[in-house]
């Protein structure tokens, strides 16, 4: 059984996702398990796509194929590529989305998927299922499947926090369906900056005494929570509320952490 995940900006109210799933079943017969990671990525937003896949793929078994159908228009100037990392396979356009998934986390090898895709109008539907079939039939070996290693995929670097004396300026990079905000400050980065110092966190016009929680229920209903559910991001939440609405958060909102 082959497992395939979909992360796309196709939405759920049109025929596009159904076409991709039908093509996968037709190409791989009944031996395919298709899982939606998300088909509600904002149009062309590779940063959101990378964030969601980054925080999902490690829970899938090895030899899972992750298809990234975001900002993936047919263009003869843009390669279609494969990334292999930790025994998992990622297919997407060479627009920087795949390296963003692995940034500062794991090593990936990249492969050029050649020119065959140029005859197809809908890459995710028409081309990716054939790539998966070729890899499965080649014992998951990209070279045996006929793909050449790519040494220089397009790299896009995510925005990093800015440190100035006693201040660390980060920003919101993602807001989930509960209104929880994730800022681009990892647990390691935060601990290296703060050390043993006391601190406070400023979010727009709100100021909070420095504390890091371990769970939403550490505070009363309606109070703010700051924690590292993922080691890569600080999360700002409201216990039984929406941080985006109550604190006025949106993507790119600055968050200031100040040593005292």
pLDDT score of 103: 82
Instruction: State which of 88, 122, 150 marks the end of a domain.
Output: 150
Distance of CA 43 to the CA centre of its chain: 14
Note whether residue 157 is domain-resident. no
Same domain, 26 and 63: yes
Query: What would you report as the CA-atom Rg of the chain, rounded to the nearest whole angstrom?
Result: 21
pLDDT score of 117: 72
Distance of CA 30 to the CA centre of its chain: 28
Question: Closest by alpha carbon to 79, among 150, 176, 22?
Answer: 150
Percentage of the chain beyond pLDDT 90 is 84
Range of 223's domain?
Answer: 162-259
Same domain, 122 and 189: no
pLDDT score of 74: 63
Neighbours of 63 (CB within 10 A): 14
Same domain, 121 and 173: no
CATH code of the domain covering residue 50: 3.40.50.10790
Whether residue 138 is predicted with pLDDT greater than 90 in this model: the reply is: yes
Query: pLDDT tens digit string along 27-71?
Result: 998 789 999 999 999 999 999 999 999 999 999 999 999 999 999
Give the span between the Cα atoms of 82 and 117, in whole angstroms: 13
Query: pLDDT tens digit string along 163-219?
Result: 988 999 999 999 999 999 999 999 999 999 999 999 999 999 999 988 899 999 999
Beta partners for residue 257, in sequence order: 168, 201
Same domain, 188 and 103: no
pLDDT band per the 50, 70, 90 thresholds, residue 157: confident
């Amino acid at each position: 059984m082959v497992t395939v995940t979909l992360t796309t900006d196709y939405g759920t109210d049109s025929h596009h996702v159904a076409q991709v799933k039908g093509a996968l079943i037709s190409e791989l017969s009944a031996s395919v398990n298709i899982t939606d990671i998300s088909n509600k990525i904002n149009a062309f937003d590779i940063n959101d796509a990378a964030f969601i896949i980054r925080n999902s793929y490690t829970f899938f078994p090895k030899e899972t194929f992750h298809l990234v159908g975001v900002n993936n228009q047919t263009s003869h100037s843009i390669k279609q590529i494969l990334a292999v990392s930790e025994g998992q396979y990622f297919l997407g356009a060479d627009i920087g989305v795949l390296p963003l998934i692995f940034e500062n986390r794991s090593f990936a090898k990249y492969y050029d998927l050649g020119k065959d895709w140029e005859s197809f109008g809908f890459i995710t539907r028409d081309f990716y299922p054939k790539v998966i079939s070729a890899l499965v039939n080649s014992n998951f070996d990209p070279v045996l499947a006929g793909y050449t290693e790519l040494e220089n995929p397009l790299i896009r670097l995510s925005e990093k926090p800015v440190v100035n004396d006693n201040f660390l300026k980060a920003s919101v990079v993602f807001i989930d369906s509960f209104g929880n905000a994730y800022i681009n400050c990892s647990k390691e980065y935060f601990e290296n900056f703060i050390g043993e110092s006391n601190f406070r966190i400023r979010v727009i016009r709100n100021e909070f005494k420095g504390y890091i929680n371990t769970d939403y229920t550490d505070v009363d209903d309606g109070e703010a929570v700051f924690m590292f559910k993922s080691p890569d991001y600080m999360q700002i939440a409201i216990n039984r509320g929406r941080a985006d609405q109550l604190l006025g958060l949106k993507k790119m909102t600055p968050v200031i952490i100040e040593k005292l």
